[in-house]
Structure 1
Amino acid sequence: MKKVPFNELQKRMDCFRAQMKVSNPDWKIAVVFSKINLYYFTGTMQEGMLMIPRNDEAVFWVRRSYERAQDESLFPTIKPMQSFRDAAQYMRKLPDTVYLETEIVPLALYQRFQKYFPFQEVKSVDRQISAVRAVKSAYELSLMEQAGSIHKKVLEDRVPEILVEGMSEAELATRIFSIMVEEGHHGVARFGMFDTEIVLGHICFGESSIYPTYFNGPGGNYGMHPAVPLLGSRERKLRKGDLVFIDIGCGVDGYHTDKTMTYMFGTPLPKEVVDTHYKCVEIQNSIAGMLKPDEIPAHIYKTVMNEIDTDFLKNFMGMGNRAVKFLGHGIGLFIDEQPVIAEGFIQPLQEGMAFALEPKKGIESIGMVGVENTFLVTRDGGRCITGDHPGLIPVY
């Protein structure tokens, strides 16, 4: 069984306490409920709560499964509970102000917790945890590099071998999923966006890649059904002349990379489509060159957007009024993490951060062209870990 090393868990807790000391000097206690953050701090993804006092030992109270938590985690203090009542018997009265994941914790859970642990005020700890998670350790980056290697192999080498005229988007999606798991993918693509379900990502033929979707990204897809707008359509079949657009996540031991690859199936696409695609590749490379320590994400966004011709901005990063207001996003335990290459993100970049850069442009009746790869921040600029193929792979 692979376990998150003890020194890794200890370092994360130390970094969190330091972050809280800077951002909220008067903090007394934080309580973590979400499974992803619980995994980050304890190395196991069980149902429970992690109580982090400022000046005392952090305790992971586990409802289910305490036995599995003991098996999987090197976290020093794990205790069982059947309900909050059990934990409350061993805890002193909480401070008046408690820091919680207000972006995640539902009201009913909050009310149950407060019933047994009365306090006066709640403040958010989401930003502080995000800031700590944004800077990856060598251990975390090694897992992302493994995910990137799988991503490269599957999308650049394996997919061209399985594209067959007449196959549906759904059929291609299931083939890709099977291959990815075979290669080492952990089997899920996790997002932090509220109430967002994803199996792999967007697997699209032609116009499907610009179909409207609730997903906060430049692309789209038909999906299986209005009740399940995911994966791919059973009805949309691959035809000669189609642009194939695949935007999917890949992960190893919880840590993700994000990559988009495009293919020309059967016949080449028109020159103006190809030129538009390669302009997006140039934009990706320009952004990557600025992924250096101390650079400001908002400045990168403004610099790049100001250099793009007005005509090119039409349908850039999404069709019509569906264009998103970012060029890339942090990535790790979630595919969509902070910081974001967008306005408003003014904290300097640091080594250890990772970004998915995804400049894309929709073309009516053709689909979404462009590229996406995952990069690590280095002193020499972004280092790509998901392959360097520019896309539009010909499959004739």
Structure 2
Amino acid sequence: MKVPSHELRARMDRFLLQMETTEPGWEIAAFFGKLNLYYFTGTMQDGMLLIPRRGDPVFWVRRSYERALAESCFPDIRKMNSFRDAAAAMGQIPETVHLEMELVPLALLQRLKKHLPFSEVKPVDAQVMAVREVKSPYEIGYLRQAGKIHRHVLEDCVPDLLTEGISEAEFGGDLYALMVREGHQGIVRFGMFNTEMAVGQIGFGESSIYPTSFDGPGGSYGMYPAVPLLGSRERRLTSGDLVFVDVGCGFGGYNTDKTMTYMFGEPLPDDVIEVHHRCVAIQDRMASLLRPGAVPSEIYTTVMDDLDPGFLQNFMGYDGRQVRFLGHSIGLQVDETPVIARGFDRPIQEGMVFALEPKKGVPGVGMVGIENTYLVTPAGGECLTGESLGLIPVF
């Protein structure tokens, strides 16, 4: 699964163009984050990628140099014991270095400056994310495969995992094992600071609206305060429960996002089902607007302005914990930019990928709604994760 050399070259060319456009006069960029290293080199090793404005980029690898050579088509990979090796090869040290300011800890920066005594640091986070926003056909191929696995597991397989008396934690473990067997890479990655997620948000009934620190509309009890993840060992499935499953699925490094809901044992009340289907209609409307040239902030305001005050209560979060977006870009990380929210005013482009997730909390029931992942095309969003309307009956 080597990233082809032409794919790596195209990514580097787009980054150089982005830097020339947004940071004219820049001197050099240094990357340490493992996802950006993978994006530009095709391997995820402990090292430093230096991209100069003039001259060829070099990937300096501390460990494992041998694995980097085996996995990567990047043209210039060199062994590094410390930053001293890179500094000796550079000659004159630039005055300004662009770094991943969201990722580089202060201690690492201090060690770097010991050997590369640059005088100024500027962020490169926005530039590299802008390059990663538009997916190539190579990347879309992996996203399609992730979406295929995602659809099959959540729409076809999950109903067989739901049995009377199973705990949220047991269900989460069974779901994870099933996803890995079906081809899931076993991990989904976030850019959000200090975000951990073993599987996703799983909740039976009102567990799905329980408060969490995660910036999303759903909720989960988790194991206990030290591990607010996966699901409760005490909350067990009973007849009449809503089951809420919001999980990512990855293949080849690329993630899709999907939320599916189920009615266990008996149907939910008609008014709850109506609320759910209204969320599905909102998703479908947003998907139709995902065309090149559309503006994310305008999609957000168009949808939100059409919702009545009664429906807006507990929409996109429960009891005052409402998030201020309706969807987000997705790729190597689940939470990429742009976001379907106010403030994102650059037009979207063909090849971008968005997860759309209109959801609404219902007292005494839980979080209804839906989420699917869409590819931006001239005809609107193409769904990569399935067409189920959710609230799948498991009777």
Q: TM-score, normalised by structure 2?
A: 0.99
Alpha-carbon shift at residue 22 of structure 1 (Å):
0.5
Residues 95-149 of structure 1, C-alpha deviations (whole Å, 9 max, x = no match): 2111000011111111111111011111110000000000000000010000000
Aligned partners of 2:130, 2:91: CA distance in 1, in Å? 29
Residue in structure 1 matched with residue 229 of structure 2 by the alignment: 230
Give the aligned partner of residue 182 of structure 1: 181
Shift of the alpha carbon at 1:89?
1.5
User: Counterpart in 2 of 1:21?
Assistant: 20
AA aligned opposite 1:325: R
Which residue of structure 2 aligns with residue 325 of structure 1?
Answer: 324
Q: Partner letter of residue 289 of structure 2?
A: M
2: CA distance between counterparts of 1:330 and 1:159? 26
Q: Secondary structure at the match of 1:365?
A: coil
- Output the amino acid matched with 2:357: E
Structure 1 consecutive aligned stretches of length 4 or more whose deviation exceeds 6 Å: none
Q: Which residue of 2 aligns with 1:156?
A: 155
The equivalent residue for 1:61 is 60
* Counterpart position of 1:217: 216
Do structure 1's residue 133 and structure 2's residue 132 form an aligned pair? yes
Equivalent positions of 1:167-178 (< 5 A) are: 167-178=166-177
Give, in angstroms, the shift of residue 187 of structure 1: 0.4
Residue 285 of structure 1 and its aligned partner are, at CA, apart by 0.6
**What's the CA shift string for 1:150-206, capped at 9, x where partnerless?**
000000000011110100011111111111111110000111101111111011100
Q: Amino acid of the residue matched to residue 321 of structure 1?
A: G
Counterpart residue number, 1:6:
5
> Which residue of 1 is the match for residue 301 of structure 2?
302
Report if the CA contact (8 A) 2:87-2:93 is conserved.
Answer: no
The aligned length equals: 395
Correspondence for 2:388: 389
1:41 and 2:40 matched: yes
Give unpaired runs (5+ residues) of structure 1. none
What SS does the corresponding residue of 1:154 show, helix, strand or coil? helix
Task: Tell me how far 1:87 sits from its aligned partner.
Answer: 1.6
Q: Following superposition of structure 1 onto structure 2, how do residues 151-300 of structure 1 map, counting pairs within 5 Å?
A: 151-300=150-299
- 2:208·2:244 contact (CA, 8 Å) conserved in 1? yes
Tell me, what secondary structure is at the counterpart of 2:364? coil
Mapped contact 1:93–1:118 kept (Cα < 8 A): no
Q: Which AA in structure 1 matches 2:159?
A: P
Q: Distance in 2 between matches of 1:110 and 1:210?
A: 40
Letter in 2 for 1:60: F
Measured in 2, the distance between the counterparts of 1:6 and 1:259 equals 32
Give the structure 1 partner of residue 87 of structure 2: 88
Letter in 2 for 1:184: G
Counterpart residue identity of residue 45, structure 1: M
Name the amino acid aligned to 1:346: D
CA positional deviation for 1:320? 2.1
- Provide the C-alpha distance between the structure 1 equivalents of 2:85 and 2:19, rounded to a whole number of angstroms: 28
SS across alignment from 2:189: coil
User: Which amino acid in the other structure matches residue 65 of structure 2?
Assistant: Y
Q: Deviations over 1:2-28 (max 9, x none)?
A: 100110000000000001111111111
Verify the 8 A CA contact 2:188 2:334 in the aligned structure 1.
Answer: yes
1:99 aligned to 2:80? no
Q: CA deviation at 1:310?
A: 1.1
- Asked if the contact 2:189/2:332 (under 8 Å) is kept, the reply is yes
* 1:89 counterpart SS class: helix
Query: How far apart, in 2, do the equivalents of 1:374 and 1:94 lie?
Result: 44
Q: d(CA) in 1 for partners of 2:132 and 2:303?
A: 26
Contact kept in structure 2, 1:361 and 1:368, CA below 8 Å: yes
Q: Does the CA-based 8 Å contact 2:277-2:369 persist in structure 1?
A: yes
Give the whole-Å Cα distance in 1 for the aligned partners of 2:93 and 2:243. 55
Letter matched to residue 189 of structure 2: R
- The equivalent of 1:315 in structure 2 is 314
In 1, the alpha carbon distance for the partners of 2:213 and 2:349 equals 31
Q: In 1, distance between residues paired with 2:319 and 2:4?
A: 47
TM-score by length of 1: 0.99
Secondary structure at the counterpart of residue 308 of structure 1? coil
Alpha carbons 1:93, 1:117 under 8 Å: kept: no
Partners of 2:69 and 2:232 in 1: CA distance: 43
Does residue 1:51 correspond to 2:41, yes or no?
no
How far apart in 2 are the matches of 1:285 and 1:94? 53
Cα distance in 2 between the residues matched to 1:105 and 1:364: 42
- Equivalence for 2:120: 121
Alignment check: 8 A CA contact 2:172 2:231 kept: yes
Q: Which moved more, 1:229-238 or 1:255-264?
A: 229-238
Please give the alpha-carbon distance, in whole angstroms, between the structure 1 residues aligned to 2:231 and 2:309: 33
- Residue 353 of structure 1 is matched in structure 2 by 352
Find the residue that maps to 1:90 and give its secondary structure.
Answer: helix
Query: Is contact 1:280-1:371 (8 Å) kept?
Result: yes
Instruction: Give the equivalent residue in structure 1 for 2:379.
Output: 380
Tell me, what secondary structure is at the counterpart of 1:202? strand
Cα shift at 1:94: 2.3
Instruction: Provide the identity percentage.
Output: 62
